[in-house]
């Protein structure tokens, strides 16, 4: 029968550099007041709508009846990617003759301006709300030195945006968007929304919702890129016959790629060999090489024989507890090993033959063993 041994490897060869997020209140946790109804993004600390439209703020503090709660709210149902809150905005509504165009935007002042020539990792999480009638690729991220002035729509070219022509269609889960941005210097304000004209690509959903495209937004971050001291690390470990170990990369990366093209963060390993993992952190990539050796992990022990001054008792790697009695040639108990300590009952340092009896508890099995050892002084 195959036995699975779960070992999660913690990598200390290098650590992902945790840089300060320049976006305040990135997960919409802090608020000035619990939203009494939708359209109250200004109640989320540090956030606002630059064109004064009704961008939404959803939070767990709001009762279901307000339509501004989580996970269920006026435009759908979604659990926050983290914490208790998120934002929501309409990026497209069809233009009606005689009426001004309508779009919603989301803006925030960064903790400090970006530095010229420096790389920054931008990342946020997005999900399509059930109230959307269409899917769209129209989500952009604009960085400016000054806040945008109030106007119905903005048509500046955003520095970052979703892949043109590839509509975002995920409703059940959150989708991560990330990109590295090289600053021109002085950018202090981030605005999220649709900066395209109304002829943007739209994909009709199979529902009867009023025409609109609506996105939930959560966990927005802009962090300076900082390289770790080492981009390559080595981990030596072992696997027992008919068993498996779990090897894994660090949490929080953008993607993972193993040498056999697997793209998961962690995996089970049964065979000895080298397993390489490339981890993409956005600003850089790290490589971890797991050197997995095969060893005998049987529940048994051996005693150096003959046993001299340099002899040793070799214990199994998985040993949980050991009870061992040592007898002389006359059958008298001369020593006992119990609860990780040796108790000497008689003088057994005289050269000769000794016998031992042991009980080994290796977790998945308990074994009783006997043997003899020749003591040489």
- The answer to whether 358 and 369 have CB atoms below 8 angstroms apart is yes
Cα–Cα distance, 332 to 48 (Å, whole number): 85
Q: Dihedral (C-alpha) 131, 137, 143, 144: value to the nearest 10 degrees?
A: -90
Cα–Cα distance for residue pair 194/136, rounded to 1 Å: 10
What number is the average pLDDT over the span 176-192? 96
The confidence band for 252, taking pLDDT boundaries of 50, 70 and 90, is confident
Total domains present in the chain: 3
Which secondary structure element, helix H or strand E, spans residue 136, and what is its range? strand 134-136
Instruction: Say yes or no: 157 and 288 in one domain.
Output: no
Question: How many Å apart are CA 324 and CA 341, to the nearest integer?
Answer: 10
Residue 197: pLDDT band with limits 50, 70, 90: confident
Whether residue 306 has a cis bond before it, omega within 30° of 0: yes
Q: Are residues 89 and 216 in the same domain?
A: yes
Range of the structural domain that residue 241 is part of: 232-295
* 8-22, 227-241, 253-267, 357-371, range with the lowest pLDDT: 8-22
pLDDT at site 280: 93
pTM above 0.85, yes or no: no
Do 108 and 125 lie in a common domain? yes
In angstroms, rounded to a whole number, what is the distance separating the alpha carbons of residues 213 and 236? Answer: 50
64 secondary structure, DSSP code: G
The residue with tokens 């739209």 is 202
> For residue 18, is it within any domain?
no
268 and 160 co-located in one domain: no
Same domain, 208 and 153: yes
Among the three residues 295, 310, 335, which one is the final residue of a domain in this structure? Answer: 295
CA 49 to chain centroid, in Å, comes to 31
Greater confidence (165 vs 123) lies with 123
Taking the CA atoms of the chain, what radius of gyration do you get in angstroms? 32
Evaluate whether residue 356 is within a structural domain. yes
pLDDT of residue 206: 64
* Same domain assignment for residues 47 and 184: yes
pLDDT, position 210: 81
Does the residue 185 lie in any domain? yes
**Considering the domain boundaries, does residue 20 fall inside one?**
no
For residue 262, being part of any structural domain is answered with yes
Q: Which residues of 318-336 are buried (b: 16+ CB within 10 A; e: fewer)?
A: beeebebbbbbeeeeebbe
Query: Are 215 and 313 in a shared domain?
Result: no
Please check whether residue 3 lies inside any domain of the structure: no
Q: What is the CATH number of the domain that holds 179?
A: 2.60.120.260
- Domain assignment present for 286: yes
- Residue that wins the pLDDT comparison between 298 and 229: 229
Are 263 and 280 in contact by the 8 Å Cβ rule? The answer is no
What CATH number did the domain enclosing 276 receive? 2.60.40.10
Final residue before a domain boundary, out of 170, 200, 224: 224
pLDDT at 12: 35
Whether residue 230 contacts residue 13, with contact meaning beta carbons closer than 8 Å, is answered with yes
How many Å apart are CA 136 and CA 37, to the nearest integer? Answer: 26
Q: Please give the average per-residue pLDDT across 100-126, as a whole number.
A: 95
Structure confidence by residue, pLDDT tens digits, 336-369: 887 667 777 666 567 788 888 988 888 777 888 8
Q: Given 188, 203, 224, which residue is the final one in a domain?
A: 224
Tokens 């048994």 sit at which residue? 300
Structure confidence at residue 362 (pLDDT): 80
Distance (Å) of CA 30 to CA 12, 16, 46, 220, 257: 34, 27, 9, 14, 36
Q: Is the pLDDT of residue 309 over 90?
A: no
Q: Report the DSSP beta bridge partners of residue 85.
A: 59
Same domain, 151 and 262: no
pLDDT band at residue 139 under the 50/70/90 scheme: very high
> Does one domain contain both 241 and 355?
no
Residues 56 and 185 in one domain: yes
Domain shared by 332 and 201, yes or no: no
pLDDT on residue 346: 65
91-102, pLDDT tens digit by residue?
988 887 778 889
**Interior CA angle at 329 toward 328 and 332, to 5°?**
45
Instruction: Give the contacts of 313 (CB within 8 A, at least 6 positions apart).
Output: 301, 302, 303, 304
The CA-to-CA distance between both ends of the chain, in Å, stands at 44
Nearest to 75 by CA among 56, 53, 92: 56
Mean residue pLDDT of the chain comes to 86
Same domain, 170 and 135: yes
């Amino acid at each position: 029968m195959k036995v699975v041994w779960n070992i999660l490897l913690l990598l200390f060869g290098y650590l992902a550099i945790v840089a300060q997020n320049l976006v305040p209140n990135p997960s919409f946790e802090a608020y000035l007041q619990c939203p009494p109804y939708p359209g109250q993004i200004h109640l989320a600390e540090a956030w606002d709508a630059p064109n004064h439209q009704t961008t939404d703020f959803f939070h767990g503090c709001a009762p279901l009846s307000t339509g501004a709660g989580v996970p269920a709210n006026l435009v759908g149902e979604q659990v926050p990617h983290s914490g208790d809150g998120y934002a929501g905005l309409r990026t497209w509504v069809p233009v009606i003759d005689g009426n001004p165009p309508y779009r919603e935007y989301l803006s925030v002042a960064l903790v400090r301006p970006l530095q010229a020539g420096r790389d920054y990792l931008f990342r946020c999480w997005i999900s399509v709300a059930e109230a959307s009638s269409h899917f769209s690729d129209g989500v952009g991220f604009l960085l400016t030195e000054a806040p945008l002035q109030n106007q119905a729509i903005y048509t500046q070219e955003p520095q970052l945006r979703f892949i043109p022509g590839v509509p975002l269609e995920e409703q059940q889960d959150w989708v991560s968007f990330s990109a590295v941005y090289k600053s021109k210097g002085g950018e202090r304000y981030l605005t999220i929304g649709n900066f395209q004209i109304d002829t943007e690509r739209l994909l009709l959903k199979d529902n009867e919702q009023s025409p609109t495209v609506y996105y939930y937004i959560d966990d927005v971050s802009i962090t300076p890129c900082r390289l770790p001291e080492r981009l390559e690390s080595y981990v030596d470990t072992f696997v027992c016959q008919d068993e498996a170990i779990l090897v894994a990369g660090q949490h929080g990366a953008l993607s993972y790629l193993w040498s056999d093209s697997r793209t998961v963060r962690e995996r089970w390993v049964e065979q000895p060999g080298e397993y390489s993992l490339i981890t993409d952190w956005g600003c850089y990539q790290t490589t971890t090489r797991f050197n997995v050796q095969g060893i005998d992990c049987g529940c048994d022990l051996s005693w150096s024989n003959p046993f001299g001054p340099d002899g040793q008792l070799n214990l199994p790697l998985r040993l949980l507890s050991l009870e061992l009695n040592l007898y002389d040639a006359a059958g008298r108990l001369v020593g006992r090993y119990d609860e990780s300590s040796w108790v000497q009952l008689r003088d057994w340092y005289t050269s000769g033959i000794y016998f031992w009896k042991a009980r080994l508890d290796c977790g998945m099995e308990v074994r009783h063993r006997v043997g003899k050892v020749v003591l040489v002084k």
